[in-house]
Amino acid sequence: MVNYNLSYIIATRNRLPFLKITLFVLLASVQPDEEIVVVDGGSTDGSKEYLQSLFEEGKIDQFISEPDKNQAHAWNKAMLLAKGTVLKKIIDDDVFCYEAIGECKNYMLQNPGVDVLISNDLASALNNHQNIQQCNRLLQFEKWKRGLMPSFTFGDVHMLIRRTSLAYIGLYNTAFVMMDWEYSLRISYLKANIAYYTGYNALSVDHPQTISSLKDRMLIEEQGKKGCMFYEYAGDTAEISAWSKIKIGAGKLLKPAKNDDVKPQSVDHIDAIYASYYDHINEVNKAQGFKFLTKD
């Protein structure tokens, strides 16, 4: 059995143009001590066949394709399949800096007491890709460290998890639409050992297919109240709907959302935009010096 230091996990369904971009960069960046695990939700757009061919060529290490009950169910399957010491979620339509991820991986390997590592995040919208915002949860992290708030939110797009820590923090709650919102509150409320990297290992990309916060407003509000109550979260505005405003890895539906007012981008146009995104995140990380902040 191969001992992997890191598992890249991907859950996807019917997003072939984005998936091809993401895997092209990941396959060029993956290291010998890392594996790629992909869970496909039974795609009908060619993703299943594309992934199967990569699996047969030995380019991805684990692959299954079957219907999922929801996005949390898919990600949980990927986490349970993973063999690496550290898990890194790769969302098929976001952008990642694999050099920064490597630094985060090495930090976690050198500090076995760290359960979860998060970082700053860049954020942009596909229909306004020149506008890239720098986002962070440093203030909330520092308040949480000092015991001034029992829990805080952060996006899972830039999160690394120690696989053995799943026994304590658990998997995603399959009852929550905004699964990463609930997961971040739970992780921090449990006082897991969270470290913070002040660099940027991810760039969140928003587009019509990522919008889950407005899918069922009544359900979202009900879940938000439950989450705030259970995890003693006063929050930025104490509302789960604020998560989309925070825009740090907002929960993403595996099934595309309908939006008749937004025209889809051409594949060539998307390729060019994503190339500029990858250039941007790499330039930002090279232009500044970053450090790791610890809980204690």
Per-residue model confidence as pLDDT tens digits over 73-101? 999 999 999 999 999 999 999 999 999 99
Amino acid (one-letter) located at 51: L
Confidence of residue 235 (pLDDT cuts 50, 70, 90): low
Structure confidence by residue, pLDDT tens digits, 189-215: 999 999 999 999 999 998 876 644 445
Mean pLDDT across the chain: 88
Residue among 198, 171, 202, 201 nearest 294 (CA): 198
How many other C-beta atoms are found inside a 10 Å radius of the C-beta of residue 233?
22
**Three-state DSSP state, 99:** helix
pLDDT of the residue at 37: 98
pLDDT of the residue at 213: 42
Nearest-5° Cα angle at 294, 290 to 295:
145
pLDDT of the residue at 28: 98
User: 4 near 32, Cβ under 8 Å?
Assistant: no
Amino acid (one-letter) located at 209: Q
